[in-house]
Amino acid sequence: MHRNAARRPAHPIRPARQARPVRPARPAADRSRLVAGCIAVAAVLGLSACGTASGALQPTTAAATPGSASPQQQPTGTAATTTAPATASDGATGSGPAAPSAAAKPGVSGTPSASGTPSASGASGTPSAPAPPAATARTTSPAAAPATGTPAPPPAHPGTATKVIGSTASGGRTVALTFDDGPGPATGQILDLLAQYHVKATFCEIGQNAAANPALVKRVVAEGHRLCDHSVHHPQPFEKLSHDKAVYEIGAAHDMIVKAGGPGTDVSWFRAPGGGFDADNEHIAAGLGMSSLGWSVDPRDWARPGVPAIVSTVQQQLKPGGVILMHDGGGDRSQTVAALKQLLPWLVAQGYTFDLPAA
């Protein structure tokens, strides 16, 4: 047998593959729809684009807390701006700066420091890099108080108390009428009664009341009565005040009364609210040229015990040379006015003449 005859028949020649047709490029509108579809799917799946060159989707870094709205992402490269309100001013009362809002500026720790304000550095103590000028938080702080040139208050006086006056200047069968806590609505009525009997009295005035009623203070001075310092706000117990507080209450009231009375106004006495005298406030008053004025008769008319009670207390407690304590301010003084209408003729009938307190 021929050798070639044993060969296997050759495979038939396959026809050449036809080239695949080239797909035309997607138009821009199709690409936009594709991207929009991807974004919609990502929103459903809780994914967000990472913004990388590949455009791959990655999980968001902050998961929403169950039952609350999903937090918004802070744009990269910007900082939250916090504007703190100006501190309130304190007279009587001052408050510190308001607490910072939850969106604290970058570089400020959210943990309050010992003073209640956030610390300007992190836990490591290294200050954070400053924020860009456009995103720097603005904080309104009070301006530094200018120097007033007012001399420092006198030092506290630990020595013995000075004499508190409780008698008239002349002694004998004399009496001194004093009225506290004014000027007030009853001051004019009391001045009218005193004028009828040609009586000169002493008015121990609250500084803020004098400042609010300068016309009444001027009338007191014009009609020949005398003035007494009874503090700015009538705080009690007065003897428990700090030295600096006592200096203010006595000194500022003195200035208010003098200003309300006008040029040449003299304030001869100081009466501590509630009789709260001590060595310190007595020496503060003495430094301003004022004697400390007490009393010897107290009908407690401020408590409004009734007109008969006021009259009888004065009649029982009064001795020659006594100083009577009554009130023309601090509340309803209609009982005081009514009692004075009875006491003035009674005092005259008892042979008393009217005097000023000793000084």
**Catalytic positions, please?**
180, 327
CA distance 272 to 232: 11
- Give the pairing type, strands 57-59 and 47-49: antiparallel
Cis peptide before 183 (omega within 30 of 0): yes
CA distance 265 to 253: 13
**What CA dihedral angle connects 4, 7, 11 and 13, to 10 degrees?**
-10
What angle separates helix 187-196 from helix 334-349, to the nearest 10 degrees? 10
Cis peptide before 237 (omega within 30 of 0): yes
CA distance 199 to 262: 23
One-letter amino acid at 220 equals: V
CB-neighbour burial class of residue 228 (10 A; exposed 0-12, middle 13-18, buried 19+): buried
